[in-house]
Amino acid sequence: MWFLGMDVGTGGTRAVVVDGDGKLISSAASEHAPFRAEHAGWAEQDPEDWWRAAQEAVRGAIAAAPEPKQPVAALALTGQMHGCVLLDAAGAVLRPAMIWCDTRTQPECDWLTEKIGYEKLIDLVANPALPNFTVTKLLWSRTHEPELYAKIAHVLCPKDYVRYRLTGEFAIDVQEASGTLLLDVAHRRWSPEVAAAADVKQSWLPKVYESTEICARISASAAGATGLAAGTPVAAGAGDQGAGAVGMGILEPGSVSATIGTSGVVFAATAQPTKDAKGRLHTFCHAVPGLWHVMGVTQSAGLSLNWLRNTFFAGQSYDALSAAAAKVAATSDGLHWAPYLLGERTPHLDPEVRAAFTGIGVNHTTAHFVRAVLEGVAYSLEDSFSLFAELGIPVKNIRLGGGGARGPLWRRIQAGIYGHAVEVLTAEEGGAFGCALMAGVGVGHWADLHEACAAAIEVAERIEATPEEVAAYKSGYAAWCKVYPALKTLE
């Protein structure tokens, strides 16, 4: 019995096939066209390009699976969160989708916050209004595109648009819906109060499901396009961070992941919705029914290292850059990187602040700048751990994911800065893998996600920082924390 997971990311769509023992047996990916940024702070993609990439990835993953082939028994989807796909009554896309890193909507955030009230908004949907969230993009369209806005019949997030093309159904999971700012997170249902305040019709919103629920089936037309069988069950899935957490076994309160992809996320499972009155952390429904999670986000995590390499070290490999940085002492001899290339979310909620190196001296080499970026990203994620401590959120074990888990230096830096042992998995396959497990649960192959993860996930290594590293980084973090207030004065 095979299960398929699909991840509609920013840079591309990836599909994986997992067998009945929870083992990855094949995968394939198809790149997306780069997102368009016609103006500063804008980021748009064509939903039709996601659908093209999804077809290619699914066909490729099935083709790459070993013989004898088995039918895919079920699938589930994940993808980039917070995007805004607008459809008319015929299901046609009305405009390019504004995606998660589009930050043009601060005026709409201010308007919605003033209309509802900051504390009331957090009470209703557990989060403040931020430019990344879906509803603020809807408000921007209402203000700037009134003729187009009048044609809206459906609003979807990116992976849910691909589901629509696969099945003809308008559906969303509770974890993804939490990132729209339209979900009553505590009660796992749409918030009529916020929808009314934002002039969003209830009929526009897809039906909400728990992540492991079967919500649709592959249509005949999509079967022909993908190679999947018509009628194949589709589970609701989750947004990229929720699905990635499942794929790493972050299922119980006290379990935490720190994932460095384009953005960086610290994710902690909680037994109840833990709301931060100041709105510095996101509080979402977990992909595990009956649980929630808190999440701190660094906008430019892996993006920081990618930007550094492409701008100053073109042609050099990440391994070579990391090897040089490993020869530099912890804290980079006082050189700091503030990773605010796209503004920041946690804990500052500041879309306008921008990145900077500080403390540059004649003693600093190119290797210092690389190490400072690795440390600056981890310091930014430590901001989230500091908030966890403030709010009483337990941290019993930390698992690393994404690019930040692959390099030994970045793993060690994170252990030292977090002041906690960190674990890496034998095979960290990301959100698509987590979705394949959800699909298996959805059709009853595993009783629940705990059983699925027990079968599929294995810890490969545990990294402990030395007391000297922890002490050095404690001092380094205190110095780094002075950088943001200084940058704020320059806005």
Give the catalytic positions in this structure: 240
Residue 224, phi-psi category: left (phi > 0), alpha (psi -120 to 50), beta (remainder): alpha
**CA atoms within 13 Å, Cβ hemisphere of 151:** 13
Render 111-149 in DSSP notation, one character per residue: HHHHHH-HHHHHHHHSS---TTSHHHHHHHHHHH-HHHH
Tokens describing residue 268: 């902690």
Q: Catalogue the E-assigned strands of 46-136.
A: 72-79, 85-87, 97-98
Residues in CB range of 268: below 8 A, 6 or more apart: 250, 253, 254, 255, 256, 293, 294, 295, 388, 393, 394, 395
The alpha-carbon radius of gyration of the chain (Å, integer) is 22
In whole angstroms, give the CA distance from residue 178 to residue 293: 10
H and E: helices and strands count for the chain: 18, 23
CA distance 97 to 88: 13
Q: Kindly give the residue spans of alpha helices, DSSP state H, lying in 400-481.
A: 408-418, 430-442, 449-456, 467-480
- Residues 282, 57: Cα–Cα separation, whole Å: 31
